[in-house]
């Protein structure tokens, strides 16, 4: 793989039950590319958590995934409310999700921590009222 392979997805913010659609597609693509199962698992979980966050908090957004000879890069971009205190948001157990989200099994305050856990590098750019862009890299 000398050239990077790029994939773009729109994440629908209206339909919570279809959240994870992009991550499941990416998982399938990475399998077809023959990547090792642990890399696929890390990318899938990190991206799914990000996708869920975009649906819960930001009304959807866009996901771009690229694969090159070094690893997988995931860029999640939304125009949501932004994260006021990133350090706080990174704490396990801290959540601003509503009760209806919690009843579905989400909103445990583990999303961002899991994204960090499963990516080798993670960068968050966020501005309150403007939106959030998260870049995650998983190396081979």
Instruction: State how far the Cα of 77 lies from the Cα of 70, in Å rounded to an integer.
Output: 22
Look up residue 40 and give its two tokens.
């696929």
Rule CB under 8 A: is residue 113 a binding residue for another protein? yes
Task: Measure the CA–CA gap between 131 and 7, rounded to whole angstroms.
Answer: 21
Query: Is residue 9 a contact residue for another protein (CB under 8 A)?
Result: no
Q: Are 75 and 134 in contact (CB under 8 A)?
A: yes
Other CB atoms within 10 Å distance of the CB of residue 60: 18
By CB under 8 A, the count of residues binding another protein is 25
CB of 41 to another protein, least distance (A): 5
Cα 2 to chain centroid distance, Å, stands at 25
The nearest distance, CB 56 to another protein, in angstroms, is 11
- Nearest distance, CB of residue 12 and another protein, angstroms: 14
Q: Which of residues 28-87 bind another protein (CB under 8 A)?
A: 37-38, 40-41, 44-45, 48-49, 52
Q: Is the dihedral of CA 82, 85, 87, 90 positive or negative?
A: negative
Among 2, 14, 105, 129, binds another protein (CB under 8 A): 105
Binding residues for another protein (CB under 8 A): 17, 19-20, 23-24, 27, 37-38, 40-41, 44-45, 48-49, 52, 104-106, 108-111, 113-114, 117
């Amino acid at each position: 793989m000398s050239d990077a392979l790029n994939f773009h997805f729109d994440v629908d913010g209206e339909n919570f039950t279809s959240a994870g659609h992009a991550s499941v597609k990416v998982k399938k693509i990475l399998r077809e590319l023959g990547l090792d199962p642990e890399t696929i698992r890390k990318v899938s979980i990190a991206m799914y958590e990000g996708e869920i966050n975009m649906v819960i908090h930001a009304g959807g957004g866009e996901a771009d995934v690229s694969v090159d000879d070094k690893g997988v890069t995931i860029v999640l971009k939304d125009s949501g409310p932004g994260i006021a205190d990133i350090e706080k948001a990174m704490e396990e157990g801290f959540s601003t999700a509503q009760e209806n989200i919690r009843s579905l099994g989400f909103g445990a305050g583990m999303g961002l921590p899991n994204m960090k856990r499963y990516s080798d590098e993670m960068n968050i750019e966020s501005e309150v009222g403007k939106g959030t862009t998260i870049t995650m890299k998983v190396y081979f």
